[in-house]
Structure 1
Amino acid sequence: MALTQQFARVTREYLEHCRSSAFDSPEASPGWDPSPGDLLDTDWAVWGLIWYCRSTGADVDLIALLDRAVSGDPGGDIGFLDHDEVYDGIDGPPRLLAPAAVVEIARGLEAVDLDIVLADLPSAAADAAAACGFGDGFSGDVREYVAEHFTAMVEFYSAAARRGQCVVVWVD
């Protein structure tokens, strides 16, 4: 089973509900069940974009922005989400981005011109896949794959910022 990047848009109130549920449950179950419309799976596309940016010497601020968008911020007091109901435990537990961080990330992502970032991506599929760290097993149009998932992430963060929501990130 492949690991993929997951995101959830939630309110602080929802997180408090999950915290209370975890403390009240004998199994420490947080009752994690965000609305499907507030969940996003970007597969491993954004990791490929980060790989490509690092390997091509892209702007360090862009790399930091992308990394923060998928990795979250340290702390966040959401240890109650470190539960198999939320994620499979293969990677680190979920991390939180508070509303102010979400606004900052959304603005940064909205300013990225992906066409410029990917301007030197090889046109041959195998070369493009290698440039993004996808390896030989990737099939399809790398540029389209990365762009589709990047655009979904931008829209996801922008909506969360408009709503004043937190974003929880994890790998599953």
Structure 2
Amino acid sequence: MALTQQFARVTSEYLDRCRDSALTSSGASPGWDPPDSDLLDTGWALWGLIRCCRSTGADPESIAVLDRAVSGDPDGNVGFLDHDEVYDGFGDPPRLLADMPTSAEVAAAVCGFGPGFDIGVREHLTEHFVALREFYRTAARHTQCVVTWVD
């Protein structure tokens, strides 16, 4: 089973309930179950985008923002989510999509997708980047936190 980058939008009150549940339940379960409409699975596309940005010399600040959006903050106080259900961090929205090589084969190699990646790399990364950006925008509009983890 491949690892994929996951995101959830939740309120701070929801996180407080999860923290309380983890402290009081026998298995330290946070009771993590956000609605499907507040979940996003970007597969491994964003890791390829970050790799591409680094290898093509994109602006380091933009790479850092994208990396933070995917990795979360190291000091996020969500250790109670370090559970089978979910774990780790918060982040801010990314701001830039890097230019991609025009050749699909070269673009796949730059992103680390390897031979046999048979869909348009630019379209694949753009689709997931746009979904992530909109996901963060919606969270900001609703004053929600974003939790990110790899599953």
Q: What TM-score do you get using the length of structure 1 for normalisation?
A: 0.83
Secondary structure at 1:167's aligned position in 2? Answer: strand
Are the aligned partners of 2:76 and 2:88 in contact in 1 as well (CA < 8 Å)?
A: no
Q: Distance in 2 between matches of 1:141 and 1:5?
A: 20
1:94-118 per-residue CA deviation (whole Å, 9 max, x = no partner) reads 2134xxxxxxx33x52xx3x3xx22
Q: Distance in 2 between matches of 1:159 and 1:56?
A: 30
1:141 and 2:99 aligned:
no
Query: 1 or 2, which has the higher helix percentage?
Result: 1
Instruction: Using the TM superposition, give the Cα deviation of residue 124 of structure 1 relative to its aligned residue in structure 2, in angstroms.
Output: 2.6
**Aligned twin of 1:60:** 60
Q: Distance in 1 between matches of 2:102 and 2:90?
A: 37
**Aligned twin of 1:78:** 78
Are the aligned partners of 2:12 and 2:144 in contact in 1 as well (CA < 8 Å)?
A: yes
Q: What TM-score do you get using the length of structure 2 for normalisation?
A: 0.94
1:171 and 2:146 aligned:
no
**Aligned twin of 2:15:** 15
Instruction: Using the TM superposition, give the Cα deviation of residue 138 of structure 1 relative to its aligned residue in structure 2, in angstroms.
Output: 1.7
Are the aligned partners of 2:70 and 2:148 in contact in 1 as well (CA < 8 Å)?
A: yes
1:25 and 2:25 aligned:
yes
Q: Distance in 2 between matches of 1:83 and 1:153?
A: 24
Letter in 1 for 2:53: C
RMSD: 1.3
Letter in 2 for 1:34: P
Residue correspondence of structure 1 range 44-55 to structure 2 within 5 A: 44-55=44-55
Instruction: Using the TM superposition, give the Cα deviation of residue 6 of structure 1 relative to its aligned residue in structure 2, in angstroms.
Output: 0.6
Q: Distance in 2 between matches of 1:128 and 1:74?
A: 30
**Alignment coverage as a number of residue pairs:** 151
1:23-51 per-residue CA deviation (whole Å, 9 max, x = no partner) reads 11100011000010110011111111110
**Aligned twin of 1:94:** 88
